[in-house]
Amino acid sequence: MAALSKILRSVEGNRLMFWCPGCDAAHAVRVGSGSGWTYNGNPDKPTFTPSILFNPGGETPGVPLCHSFVTDGRIQFLGDSTHPLAGQTVDLPDFDAG
């Protein structure tokens, strides 16, 4: 695992990891060739498309459903998220702040 910036880390398997302030947990997205998300290449103000959905359907008990867009270093939580930041847009936090 390597720090690309204060808010973004790279992990094995062409994945990038950020700290989600809604879940208070790290999320990873797969980027690059083949299936996965597109990444704007800016570790200080990352943008991933399309939207990111964790725990779809709330299938893992005790873990929030988390649906977001990460754009220019900010994370917009969609209204179907089940944590307290649903519907809000906030800056991605420093990884170590989590």
Q: Which residues bind Zn ion (CB under 5 A)?
A: 20, 22-23, 66
Q: Which of 83, 71, 90, 78 is nearest to 25 (CA)?
A: 83
Residue 40 Cβ vs Zn ion, minimum distance, rounded to whole Å: 20
* Nearest residue (CB) to Zn ion, 7 versus 66: 66
What is the number of helices (H) and of strands (E) in the chain?
0, 9
* Nearest residue (CB) to Zn ion, 22 versus 46: 22
Give the distance from CA 72 to its chain's centroid. 12
Residue 76 Cβ vs Zn ion, minimum distance, rounded to whole Å: 12
